[in-house]
Amino acid sequence: MDLQLKGRVAIITGAGQGIGREIARVLAEEGVKIGVNDFFQDRAERVAQEITARGGLAIGVQADVTDLDQVREMVRKIAETLGPVDILVNNAGVIIEKKTGQVKRSAFVESVPEAWKKEADLNFYGCLNCTHAVLPSMMERKKGSLVSVISEAGRVGEANLAVYSGAKAGILGFTKAIAREVGRHAINANCVALGAVAHEGTKPGLDPEARPETDPKLDKMLKVYPAGRGLGRVGRPSDAAHAVAFLVSPRAEFITGQCLSVSGGFTMVG
């Protein structure tokens, strides 16, 4: 199905690896011009080069999404090079423990305020900064799609991930409010909620190559992922990417203020 996205311009934050990288690649295959954002310039440029090598159009732009000035400069540079931004995918988020490849977990009572701020800044304020930076142009042109990648933890809560859960829940509430504010400008805003997703950035804790028959930890994890149990895997970046591609396309222009779970049935919230 043609998603009618050819020629549009998108920013995907945190797109230097994993889920963001795959979102960038899938949108590029649909003819979208891609602004690849990452905190690390080399990662952003590497993904942009992957896209151009396949015949797409992309630039890599370094920016810390927690810094509004850097975000505004990123948006300006992408608009100047590729054109006005039509699509924003707020993907930058979760803080990963490099040694384990897993989300940092601790009981809230044992946590420290410095850690709260770091998680809230990245997972919540990053979304606010990027949305604030792209909305004026979208409103002026009456054209735009916003998708924020959140976690099922933000919908149902997760023990030992209290601040992360709260930040992701905040994005959901924020998205619904923005959808009400900007709908009259023909802009839609939605979320995609993910469960466990294995990619190169989650090794060794969550290895994309792991299989339940040889990995007892994965086998146990899949008991709470009904579709994952049947498929023998947790989520893949492509699962999220295809959902995002639909939601930012004209095919979904009448869908706004919604949260689509792409988590193999980990949660089934009405």
Q: Cα–Cα distance between 149 and 194 in angstroms, integer? A: 7
Cα distances from 16 to residues 12, 59, 116, 187, 233, in angstroms, run 9, 12, 24, 26, 23
pLDDT score recorded for residue 101:
54
pLDDT digits (tens, 9 = 90+) for 38-50: 999 999 999 999 9
Range 72-93 average pLDDT = 97
pLDDT score recorded for residue 25:
98
Cα distances from 117 to residues 62, 121, 159, 166, in angstroms, run 22, 6, 18, 12
pLDDT band for 207, please (50, 70, 90 cuts).
confident
The CATH class given to the 9-197+235-262 domain equals alpha beta
pLDDT band for 154, please (50, 70, 90 cuts).
very high
Range 125-153 average pLDDT = 97
Does residue 182 carry a pLDDT above 90?
yes
225 classed as catalytic: no
pLDDT band for 102, please (50, 70, 90 cuts).
low
Q: Cα–Cα distance between 164 and 97 in angstroms, integer? A: 14
Q: Which of 58, 148, 164, 188 is catalytic?
A: 164
Q: Which two tokens stand for residue 140?
A: 């002026």
Average pLDDT in the chain? 93
pLDDT band for 94, please (50, 70, 90 cuts).
confident
pTM of model > 0.75: yes
Domain boundaries, the chain: 9-197+235-262, 200-234
Instruction: Compute how many other C-beta atoms are within 10 angstroms of the C-beta atom of residue 129.
Output: 25
